[in-house]
Amino acid sequence: MIELNKENFEEEVLKSDLPVLVDLWGPQCGPCLALMPKVEEISRKYEGKVKFCKLNVAENRKLVISLRVMGVPTFLFYKGGKEDGPRLSGAEAVAEKIEEKVRQLAG
């Protein structure tokens, strides 16, 4: 998974040829840490079809604010440089829903 920050967000997400999943997480977020191994497993399954990135909200506050993300875990999905479809956050951010959305992105 690619670690995002304000320097590489545009290149890795907005200019990506592949659809992108952005996992916003925090080091103090229990649900985020619990989901991470499952998301990494999904990333291996869709390697080459969907790019998986993670964004540490504690280290990238301005970027998180600009994305209008209010809590973690939050998953954003991008296709063709634009945010694609509904975000998954809080109780909706479960491995099954994440994989379902990734499958749609992968087409």
Active site residue 53: no
Please write the tens of the pLDDT for every residue from 4-53. 999 999 999 999 999 999 999 999 999 999 999 999 999 999 999 999 99
Total of domains in the chain: 1
Residue 37 is predicted with a pLDDT of 97
Distance, CA of 74 to CA of 37 (rounded, Å): 15
Active site residue 32: yes
The CATH number given to whatever domain includes residue 51 is 3.40.30.10
Q: pTM, whole model, 2 decimals?
A: 0.97
User: Helix, strand, coil: what percent of the chain each, to 5?
Assistant: 40, 20, 35
Catalytic residue, from 29, 63, 69, 95: name it.
29
Catalytic residue, from 32, 39, 67, 98: name it.
32
Domain containing 19: what range?
2-106
Distance, CA of 73 to CA of 88 (rounded, Å): 8
- Name the average pLDDT for the chain: 97
